[in-house]
């Protein structure tokens, strides 16, 4: 299947990154296979927990919020076979399913947040009759999906004021609808700014080695008729020097308590370039992306991926045999390079442990979903 993004039923216009098909006992998870974009829009159906794990590991679904929602549905699928087990056996199987899904990708904290919620829901339902257990799990997964969509909407509203009309905005990797259950995080801000009538031109870093910016971000923006120009990652500094960019907006995969932020490899370089050119650098992420158990970014685990993603990208050899390759999937941008973090609860500015705690604990003046700030501009 190829063509325009399918619309979700609530009319937000977000891509159907994932959707549950059928009932709790025999249903399955349908995903857009993002490895096929932009050439074709292909959907896959996952009926076994190993298929869900493979989809996450192989980046058929990616983006921290989308990974969390997908894993939640993966728990439902993994527990279908244990529907009539004793409570003790049910919980043993639950541990096995959760551990298997947790091993798929180590950096995106939303994965572990969603699995913890599903585990708590399963434990509360262990004494119920089998079918009711699965219904409880499916309701929890669907609630996680709904919350993610609502968070995307709020992030868009809260961040839109940061984008001036006529701005060029640089993005890195993909933080749109394909990375979430809704309109995205970084792209939600752009979508909301455009909905307000602002003129925005997006410069999308290719995002090597897997080109999520070129393949996915550009594709999403084209679906919305938002002007977008793809550049290689190495062009970002020159584009900034030419004054084509007035803001940088990225997503995040894990944010430490002090604001240090892990995101797709290359984000740290973009943040350094933005600071050098006096361009504001913004991060957009839901509260579930914060890992307050980590004081700073030094403790964030960084996933390293296979050699062939660099040495043989898309099947084409680019590195001589027997030459070493280093392939970290993420880097960490220090909080002092981030001008603001946009969450569903408000805008965190300045970015430090105190303002993060204040916003996440709800100590804002947010009214009617509008942007609120804690701290000085």
pLDDT tens-place string over residues 67-80:
999 999 999 999 99
User: Does domain 158-374 fall into CATH 3.30.43.10?
Assistant: no
Query: What CA dihedral angle connects 88, 106, 74 and 11, to 10 degrees?
Result: 140
- In Å, how far are 4, 51, 216 from 309, measured between CA atoms? 28, 21, 17
* Residues assigned a catalytic role: 253
Contact 84, 130 (CB under 8 A): yes
**pLDDT score of 1:** 33
Q: Is the pTM here over 0.85, yes or no?
A: yes
Collect the ranges in the chain with pLDDT lower than 70.
1-15, 363-377
**pLDDT score of 353:** 97
H-helix segments, 80-185: 87-102, 109-125, 130-159
Q: What is the pLDDT of residues 194-209, one digit of tens each?
A: 999 999 999 999 999 9
**Kindly report the CA angle at 55 between 16 and 92, in degrees rounded to 5?**
110
Count CB-CB contacts under 10 A for residue 180: 32
Question: What letter does residue 138 receive in the DSSP assignment?
Answer: H
| Length of the chain (residues) | 377
Question: What letter does residue 215 receive in the DSSP assignment?
Answer: I
- What lies within 8 Å, CB to CB, of 242 at 6+ separation is none
Instruction: Classify domain 18-152 by CATH number.
Output: 1.20.120.420
Report domain extents, the chain.
18-152, 158-374
Determine the Cα–Cα distance for residues 25 and 42; give it in Å rounded to an integer. 25
Bridge partner residues of 340 (DSSP): 282
Q: What is the phi-psi region of residue 257: left when phi exceeds 0, alpha when psi lies from -120 to 50, beta otherwise?
A: alpha
Contact 120, 69 (CB under 8 A): no
């Amino acid at each position: 299947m190829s063509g325009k993004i399918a619309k979700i039923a609530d009319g937000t216009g977000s891509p159907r990154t994932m959707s549950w098909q059928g009932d709790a006992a025999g249903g399955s998870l349908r995903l857009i296979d993002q490895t096929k974009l932009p050439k074709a829009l292909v959907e896959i159906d996952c009926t076994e927990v190993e298929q869900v794990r493979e989809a996450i590991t192989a980046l058929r679904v990616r983006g921290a919020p989308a990974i969390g929602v997908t894993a939640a549905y993966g728990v439902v699928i993994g527990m279908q076979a244990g529907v009539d087990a004793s409570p003790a056996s049910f919980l043993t199987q639950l541990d096995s399913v959760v551990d298997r899904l947790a091993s798929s990708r180590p950096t995106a904290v939303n994965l572990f947040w969603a699995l913890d919620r599903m585990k708590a829901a399963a434990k509360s339902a262990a004494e119920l009759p089998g079918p009711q257990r699965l219904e409880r799990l499916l309701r929890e997964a669907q609630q996680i999906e709904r919350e993610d969509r609502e968070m995307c909407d709020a992030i868009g509203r809260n961040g839109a004021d940061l984008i001036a009309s006529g701005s060029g905005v640089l993005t890195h990797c993909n933080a749109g609808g394909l990375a979430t259950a809704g309109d995205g995080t970084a792209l939600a801000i752009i979508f909301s700014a455009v909905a307000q009538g602002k003129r925005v031109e997006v410069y999308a870093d290719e995002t090597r080695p897997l080109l999520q910016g070129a393949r996915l971000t550009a594709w999403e923006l084209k679906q919305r008729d938002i002007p977008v120009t793809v550049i290689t990652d190495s062009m970002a500094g020159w584009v900034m020097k030419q004054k084509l960019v007035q803001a940088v907006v990225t997503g995040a995969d894990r944010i430490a308590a002090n604001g240090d932020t892990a995101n797709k490899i290359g984000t740290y370089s973009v943040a350094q370039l933005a600071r050098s050119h006096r361009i504001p650098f913004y991060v957009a992420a839901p509260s579930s992306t914060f890992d307050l158990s980590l004081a700073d970014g030094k403790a964030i685990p960084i996933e390293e991926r296979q050699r062939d993603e660099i040495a043989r990208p898309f099947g084409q050899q680019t590195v001589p045999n027997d030459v070493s390759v280093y392939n970290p999937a993420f880097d960490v941008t220090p909080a002092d390079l981030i001008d603001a973090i946009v969450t569903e609860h408000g805008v965190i500015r300045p970015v430090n442990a105190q303002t993060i705690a204040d916003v996440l604990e709800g100590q804002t003046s947010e009214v009617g979903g509008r942007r609120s700030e804690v701290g000085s501009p």
